[in-house]
């Protein structure tokens, strides 16, 4: 494999440096590095980040290849600057056995665009009754460390407790989709002023917050770590902040869409805004941004949820929940966090690479940009301004809430272990 010299990028938004990649590895970081024998990328004005890591992606394969496959999903990930994604377990069949997680893992390897780390289901069939063979999934070739019934809440307190305890044996973590099921029967959108007017079934904040409160207390009681998926309310932020202040080993993620959009968008009845947990209020959005800035929320995770066109081109109640997000995540974070002054690029590197890799125990990802480290890198042009056109997506699905919206920033290059997966903004 040949050499690549990234010349004059601001590493993590800081000092302007040259970065020399040889083979799969970063071999030198400094100024005025020799370009001899290397392909040169002029990166003046661009930000060099560690390859992004998404702890929450739905790749849909096996089962719903009409909406996404491991190949199309990892191409979308690379386009968005990701070098590793954690694939959620709610496929068909569910990723609740070593066989299924190994299949997804192998498909990821074959794709070559992005490392795929399968997430295992906590319970058999995501049904919340019986623990899946968590140890077998961990011991498989896929080496599963993150377990989640995402899409469904592990609502049975005993099952949740046992899962939290059990995965300690192999340093696993349970990622909870916090949604009290009884409080969200028929839920269509955030419960509040807008749902009252629109006549859509309410998804109250308390349905999320009550589960998070219970789970941080369970984690404290059994001495386990717990991860909270797509935290969406100001109240949840307060609970996690309190738990961390008590020393409870809790981590939390926020999606890009919850950092930008509110339930006011639902007034259009356009199901492209239908997502679970639902878009909340302005107050929640501001609390989430602040929490991501101060570290109460550890990471940004996309909850990339592809759906075929017909599942969104319909009336609200009939539509599927979810949004694609891999290809717009960094731009939304730039707009909501960097351009608001809440987070610098080093902070973005932490929330979108270092921290998610640490929580998921992803080897070789979320590493510093320094000599001897794997060359998983993302180069961003922050000055770029573009209007989102879903036709440009590498994802097989187009269900983005940002169509027609101007967003800042663009991933110009992505390197997966030294190999360029994106060159000049295009998939290589």
Catalytic residue ranges: 303
The minimum distance between CB 312 and other proteins, in angstroms, equals 11
Q: Does residue 9 interact with other proteins by CB under 8 A?
A: no
User: Would you tell me the crossing angle of helices 205-222 and 234-245 to the nearest 10 degrees?
Assistant: 10
Among 1, 318, 371, 387, binds other proteins (CB under 8 A): 318
Smallest separation, CB 258 to other proteins (Å):
19
What are the CA-CA distances from residue 306 to residues 151, 242, 315, 325, 427 (Å)?
Answer: 13, 34, 18, 9, 19
Q: Give whichever of 242 and 316 is closer to other proteins, judged by the CB atom.
A: 316
Shortest Cβ distance from residue 203 to other proteins (Å)? 11
Among 196, 371, 383, 387, which residue sits at the site for other proteins (rule: CB under 8 A)? Answer: 196
Binding segment for other proteins (CB under 8 A), chosen from 63-71, 187-195, 211-219, 329-337, is: 187-195
Which residues have C-beta within 8 Å of that of residue 247, sequence separation ≥ 6? Answer: none
User: Helix 98-111 vs helix 70-79: angle between axes, to the nearest 10 degrees?
Assistant: 50
Q: Does 264 bind other proteins (CB under 8 A)?
A: no
Residue from 157, 169, 317, 371 binding other proteins (CB under 8 A):
317
Task: Please identify, using beta-carbon distances, which residue of 187 and 420 lies nearer to other proteins.
Answer: 187
Going by C-beta distance under 8 Å and a sequence separation of 6 or more, which residues neighbour residue 271?
312, 314, 315, 316, 318, 319, 320
Using the rule CB under 8 A, give the single segment among 154-162, 314-322, 356-364, 408-416 that binds other proteins.
314-322
Among 133, 269, 321, 361, binds other proteins (CB under 8 A): 269
**Residue 193 sits in the site that holds other proteins (CB under 8 A):** yes
Shortest Cβ 314–other proteins spacing (Å): 6
* Piece in contact with other proteins (CB under 8 A), picked from 33-41, 155-163, 198-206, 330-338: 198-206
CB of 378 to other proteins, least distance (A): 37
Q: Does 404 bind other proteins (CB under 8 A)?
A: no
Does position 315 interact with other proteins (CB under 8 A)? The reply is yes
Shortest spacing between CB 272 and other proteins, in angstroms: 11
Residues 6 or more apart from 350 whose CB is under 8 A from it? none
Q: In the set 127, 264, 313, 392, which binds other proteins (CB under 8 A)? A: 313
Across the beta sheet with 115-118, the strand order is 52-57, 82-87, 115-118
Determine if 199 is a binding residue for other proteins (CB under 8 A).
yes
Q: What is the largest CA-CA distance in the chain?
A: 66
d(CA 164, CA 166): 6
Pick one of 54, 191, 253, 284: the residue that binds other proteins (CB under 8 A).
191
Residues 6+ apart with CB under 8 A from 290: 237, 342
Integer Cα distance of 272 and 394 in angstroms: 18
Local structure of residue 216 (DSSP, 8 states): H
- Helix, strand and coil content of the chain, in percent to the nearest 5, comes to 35, 25, 40
Number of residues that bind other proteins (CB under 8 A): 23
Least distance from C-beta 386 to other proteins, angstroms?
Answer: 24
- 347: which strand partners? none
Query: Tokens standing for 40?
Result: 């040169």
Identify any residues that bridge with 25 across adjacent strands, giving them in sequence order: 22, 374
Of the residues 110, 310, 389, 406, which one makes contact with other proteins according to CB under 8 A:
310
Residues that bind other proteins (CB under 8 A): 188, 191-200, 202, 204, 268-270, 310, 313-318
């Amino acid at each position: 494999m040949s050499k690549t010299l990234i010349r004059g990028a601001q590493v993590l938004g800081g000092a302007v440096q040259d970065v020399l990649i040889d083979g799969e590895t970063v071999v030198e970081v400094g100024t005025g590095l020799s370009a001899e024998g290397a392909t040169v990328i002029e990166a003046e004005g661009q930000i060099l980040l560690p390859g992004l890591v998404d702890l929450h992606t739905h790749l849909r394969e096996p089962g719903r290849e009409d909406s996404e496959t491991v190949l199309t999903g990892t191409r979308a990930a690379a386009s968005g600057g990701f070098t590793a994604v954690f694939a959620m377990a709610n496929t068909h069949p569910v990723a609740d056995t070593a066989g299924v997680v190994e299949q997804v893992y192998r498909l990821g390897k074959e794709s070559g665009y992005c490392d795929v780390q399968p997430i295992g289901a906590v319970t058999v069939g995501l049904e919340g009754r019986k623990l899946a063979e968590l140890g077998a999934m961990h011991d498989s070739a896929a080496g599963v460390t993150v377990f989640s019934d995402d899409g469904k809440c592990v609502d049975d307190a005993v099952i949740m407790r046992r899962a939290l305890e059990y995965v300690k044996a192999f340093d696993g973590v349970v990622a909870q989709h916090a949604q009290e099921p009884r409080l969200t029967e028929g839920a269509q959108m955030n419960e509040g002023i807008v749902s009252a007017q629109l006549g859509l079934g309410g998804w109250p904040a308390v349905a999320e917050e009550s589960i998070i409160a219970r789970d941080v207390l369970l984690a404290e009681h059994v001495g386990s770590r717990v991860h909270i998926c797509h935290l969406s309310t100001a109240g949840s932020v307060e609970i996690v902040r309190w738990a961390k202040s008590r020393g409870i080993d809790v981590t939390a993620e926020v999606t890009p869409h919850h950092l930008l959009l509110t339930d006011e968008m639902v007034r259009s009845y356009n199901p492209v805004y239908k997502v679970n947990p639902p878009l909340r209020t302005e107050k929640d959005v501001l609390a989430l941004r602040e929490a991501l800035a101060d570290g109460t929320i550890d990471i940004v995770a996309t909850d990339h949820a592809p759906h075929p066109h017909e599942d969104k081109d319909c009336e609200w109640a009939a539509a599927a929940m979810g949004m694609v997000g891999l290809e717009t995540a960094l731009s939304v974070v730039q707009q909501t966090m960097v351009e608001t002054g809440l987070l610098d690029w080093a902070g973005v590197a932490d929330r979108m690479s270092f921290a998610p890799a640490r929580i998921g125990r992803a080897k070789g990802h979320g590493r510093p940009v320094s000599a001897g480290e794997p060359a998983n890198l993302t180069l961003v042009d922050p000055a770029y301004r573009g209007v989102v056109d879903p036709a440009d997506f590498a994802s097989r699905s187009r269900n983005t809430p940002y169509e027609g919206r101007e967003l800042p920033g663009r991933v110009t290059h992505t390197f997966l272990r030294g190999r360029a997966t994106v060159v000049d903004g295009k998939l290589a």
